[in-house]
């Protein structure tokens, strides 16, 4: 029997996709931030809110390192988007006189350039908009909402004895 050389080539077929796939919105209103992709944002007639968008990876959660360009915002009315001096942002306005319950959709599109400087893709995101009534919500508490602060080393937030 002869000894033969055997060459084995291993190829990892699991590819991690680090390309931007969608945009996430972040609205700031009276010091409160609302962030998400598939959400509804309510704004009272005569009010405005600064918002930003951020590219996300295909999982819809992880921020992408892509740089955005040719960013455009569109609504169907009655809401209006005005430019902002803050990068990747706009100012959403609900004009005075807008009927309570009026609905709209804010759509953002952008060119995302990946960190390699070569790979680009057109990405988009949208959020539903509703004109509020200006009256506080009524009813009884039905659930809890969670808000998490920035990550800190263990022990930072622990009550000191």
pLDDT reported for residue 110: 92
pLDDT reported for residue 1: 46
122-148 pLDDT tens trace:
998 888 899 987 555 555 555 555 555
Distance CA 24, CA 124 (A): 9
- Quick check: 10 pLDDT over 80? no
Q: Pairing state of beta strands 67-75 and 120-131?
A: unpaired
pLDDT reported for residue 121: 92
- Quick check: 12 pLDDT over 60? no
CATH architecture designation of domain 22-131: Sandwich (2.60)
Residue with tokens 């600064």: 50
DSSP code at position 63: B
pLDDT above 90 coverage of the chain, percent = 34
| 16 or 109: which leads in pLDDT | 109
pLDDT reported for residue 42: 86
Distance CA 125, CA 38 (A): 9
Band of pLDDT at residue 13, cut at 50, 70 and 90: very low
The DSSP bridge partners found for residue 22 are 56
The DSSP bridge partners found for residue 116 are none
List of E strands, the chain: 22-29, 32-36, 40-43, 47-56, 67-75, 80-83, 89-94, 103-113, 120-131
- Quick check: 57 pLDDT over 80? yes
Query: What would the mean pLDDT of 83-96 be, rounded to a whole number?
Result: 91
pLDDT reported for residue 61: 80
pLDDT reported for residue 159: 56
Closest to 51 (Cα-Cα) out of 112, 126, 103: 126
């Amino acid at each position: 029997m002869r000894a033969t050389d055997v060459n084995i080539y291993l190829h990892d077929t699991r590819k991690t996709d680090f390309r931007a796939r969608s945009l996430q919105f972040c609205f700031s209103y009276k010091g409160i931030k609302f962030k998400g992709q598939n959400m509804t944002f309510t704004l009272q007639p005569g009010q405005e809110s600064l918002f930003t968008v951020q590219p996300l990876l295909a999982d819809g959660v992880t921020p992408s390192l892509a740089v955005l360009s040719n960013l455009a915002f569109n609504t169907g009315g009655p809401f209006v988007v005005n430019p902002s001096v803050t990068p990747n942002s706009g100012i959403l306005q609900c004009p005075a006189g807008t009927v309570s319950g009026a609905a709209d959709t804010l759509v953002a599109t952008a060119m995302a350039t990946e960190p390699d400087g070569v790979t680009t893709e057109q990405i988009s995101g949208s959020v539903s908009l509703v004109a509020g009534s200006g009256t506080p919500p009524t009813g009884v508490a039905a659930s809890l909402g969670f808000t998490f602060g920035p990550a800190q080393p263990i022990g930072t937030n622990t009550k000191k004895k």
